Amino acid sequence: MDKLPENLPLERLYRAIVFLGPPGAGKGTQAKELARKYGVPHLSTGDMLRENIARGTALGMQAKPIMERGELVPDSLVLKMVKQRIQNADCSFGFVFDGFPRTVAQAQYFGELLKRCGYEQPVVVHFAIDPALVLKRITGRRLCKVGGEIYNIYERPTKVEGRCDLDGGELDQRPDDREEIVAPRLAAYAKQTAPLVAYYRRLGRLQDVDAAQPVEEVTRGVLEIVRGAK
């Protein structure tokens, strides 16, 4: 079990926030910011899968070739991982999920799981952006190998080339951020994840943010949604 945070912020979340949107829309960037603000965990199934790959677990070995092709990892593998993670004590003040759920089956399972764990249904923030805009964001993305901070060689360069501003860690590029993998990732989003927009809208849980704006503007929009959520 993880420890509870020692210095709790004044504003509390007490619920699950889900960031939904295409690859490169800025979900991870905003999830880190929101999680920092509320002192809650930023959960990303993509990060969890990459950690499993790095550790060479059985799950990681199964997920690696699928992710390298830009396809979605089967629900059965992802759901087990999510169930374990949100039962950690550090999630009891709420959490920000980025990149999950990604299929209607995952969303249905997640809804049931939240109920069973005593959480309200999630607030879903839809990162609306023209897919044509995400190519430059994805191919320009660099990640700190130490703390996972997200940079972009075009939009958010580091002060010292190749080194993280926060901890000096070396920067890396994700294997699926190569230009030729972007099209299959966008196709998987359109086919399997975009139907969630209608799904959550029907449930009255979804709100849109214009993800084509600069980072600070998107942050403002996200905060308005989260603070106004019933």
Amino acid at 85: R
Q: Do 102 and 72 meet the contact criterion of CB atoms below 8 Å apart?
A: yes
Considering only 16, 17, 20, 25, the residue that binds ligand AP5 (CB under 6 A) is 25
Considering only 83, 156, 163, 201, the residue that binds ligand AP5 (CB under 6 A) is 156
Q: Is 205 labeled as catalytic in the residue annotation?
A: no
Amino acid at 212: A
CB of 16 to ligand AP5, least distance (A): 14
Q: Is 141 labeled as catalytic in the residue annotation?
A: yes
Q: Which range touches ligand AP5 (CB under 6 A), out of 70-78, 110-118, 160-168, 220-228? A: 70-78
Q: Is 110 in the site for ligand AP5 (CB under 6 A)?
A: no
CA-closest candidate to residue 207, choices 13, 7, 39, 18: 18
State the Cα–Cα distance between residues 58 and 71, nearest whole angstrom: 18
Instruction: Indicate the residue among 34 and 49 with the shorter CB distance to ligand AP5.
Output: 49
Considering only 104, 128, 135, 215, the residue that binds ligand AP5 (CB under 6 A) is 215
Strand 141-144's sheet: what is its strand order?
Answer: 150-152, 141-144, 171-172
Instruction: Indicate the residue among 135 and 229 with the shorter CB distance to ligand AP5.
Output: 135
State the Cα–Cα distance between residues 220 and 217, nearest whole angstrom: 5
DSSP 4-71: PPSS--SS---EEEEEE--TTSSHHHHHHHHHHHHT--EEEHHHHHHHHHHHT-HHHHHHHHHHHTTP
Instruction: Indicate the residue among 156 and 201 with the shorter CB distance to ligand AP5.
Output: 156
- The residues that touch ligand AP5, with contacts defined as CB under 6 A, are 21, 23-29, 44-46, 49, 66-67, 70-73, 78, 98-100, 102, 106, 137-138, 140-141, 150-152, 155-156, 176, 185, 214-215, 218
